[in-house]
Amino acid sequence: MLEKKNLDYERVVLVGVITTTQNEEKSHEYLDELEFLTYTAGGEVVKRFTQRLETPNPKTFIGTGKMDELIQFVEENEIGAVIFDDELTPAQQNNIEKILRIKVLDRTTLILDIFAQRAQTSYARTQVELAQYEYLLPRLTGLWTHLERQRGGIGMRGPGETEIETDRRIVRDRIALLKKKLETIDRQMSTQRSNRGALVRVALIGYTNVGKSTLMNLISKSEVFAENKLFATLDTTVRKVVIGNLPFLLSDTVGFIRKLPTQLIESFKSTLDEVRDADLLLHIVDISHPNFEEHIASVNQILGEIKSINKPTIMVFNKIDAYTHQTIEDDDLMIEKTSRHFSLEEWKQTWMNRMNGDVIFISALNKENIQEFREKVYKKVREIHITRFPYNNFLYPEIEE
Ligand SMILES: Nc1nc2c(ncn2[C@@H]2O[C@H](COP(=O)(O)OP(=O)(O)OP(=O)(O)O)[C@@H](O)[C@H]2O)c(=O)[nH]1
Ligand SMILES: [Mg+2]
């Protein structure tokens, strides 16, 4: 499945439940994503455990029988950590740790850990550290602090061991301090943003790993880090871009994910302000991903949370080079046609209608349709620009489509 070059990858087991609201296929896809997250964090998934349950068990997430299976597997296979595909309550976390006596992580800790690993600037590190401490505070329990924290690896990056061994009061003080530090930086950032003048602001947004940074590099000739792992970008990059004489600001920022921890959304306030302040959003979608429609929904949900859902938006469907779809033989009347069977052309029609034409299909990697993409962006930016500078309307000719 995923390429694994590093022999030091920590051996982990994934655990998920198949609930009544999500079918088996969905839960497999969720576990695929959890596996990708694990791989990004430096883990190798040795086995997945799933259980059908109406709702997760309030004490141990999974039932007793499944837990026995898990205990046995963990003991026999040198497993370093167990990762649950949901947020564990402090009680569940505590109980499961007592039973398994190895590292117990949930989806949120895993995402926080990746953010901690990837944070480059002191600003990003401060934001992640704050989110980690806030998640940690209700979960500080005796066993967890002295047993699990002594080991390294996934889930253990970020707050240092000495702090962890102390009590909640110290964690609370640290949270207060980090908040103060962030407030100062937030103020500086917002001054910086207001100093950028009246140029139109365009933000690349979308699910993680869809190609935002690749597109940024292509359009702005910058060198933003892009790779096939989740959350390659944490810090925002802003570049001045000129298309056909018309200058505007383009920003590349952190990608979104399903169930993005709320602590992260809150502490990444300033980073997300870049989105909030944008005049135009380019919502990038990886159309080659089987779950891309759900990705769009997750992104829209987060946009709603940060009050940015009603901005002018161009939907940019990327990775058309990698798009595949299921086909139905002409004589097969048993198969019902679903969106999984759509050709690219059908998707184009669907989205053109939905977005009133503000849609483009591209491949950033193969540079397909990039000229059309630039024209689409130009047209939209121009519309916004001339409302701001009506007098230099004539400078920027309308282009025919
Ligand atoms: N096949 C294909 N791959 C692409 C395309 N565009 C980008 N990629 C690949 O997708 C992966 C992710 O690209 P990034 O540009 O880092 O994605 P991102 O949206 O910035 O990701 P985060 O910063 O992690 O949120 C990289 O391996 C890219 O090479 C494309 O058009 N086609
Ligand atoms: Mg990126």
Task: Give the integer Cα–Cα distance in Å for 223 and 215.
Answer: 11
Nearest of 365, 361, 358, 380 to residue 243 by alpha carbon: 380
Per the CB < 8 A criterion, the answer to whether 213 and 226 are in contact is yes
Q: What is the pLDDT of residues 275-333, one digit of tens each?
A: 999 999 999 999 999 999 999 999 999 999 999 999 999 999 999 999 998 887 776 77
Residues with CB under 6 A from ligand 1: 206, 208-214, 226-228, 230-233, 255, 318-319, 321-322, 363-365
Compute the distance between CA of residue 349 and CA of residue 317 in angstroms, rounded to an integer. Answer: 13
Q: Which two tokens stand for residue 85?
A: 């595909």
Smallest CA separation from ligand 1 atom 27, residue:
228
With cut-offs at 50, 70 and 90, classify the pLDDT of residue 206: very high
- Which stretches within 17-106 are classed as H helix? 24-41, 64-76, 90-100
pLDDT value of residue 80: 92
Cα–Cα distance between 257 and 114 in angstroms, integer? 13
**pTM exceeds 0.75, yes or no:** yes
pLDDT digits over 329-354, tens only? 776 777 778 888 899 999 999 999 99
Atom of ligand 1 minimally distant from the CA of 215: 15
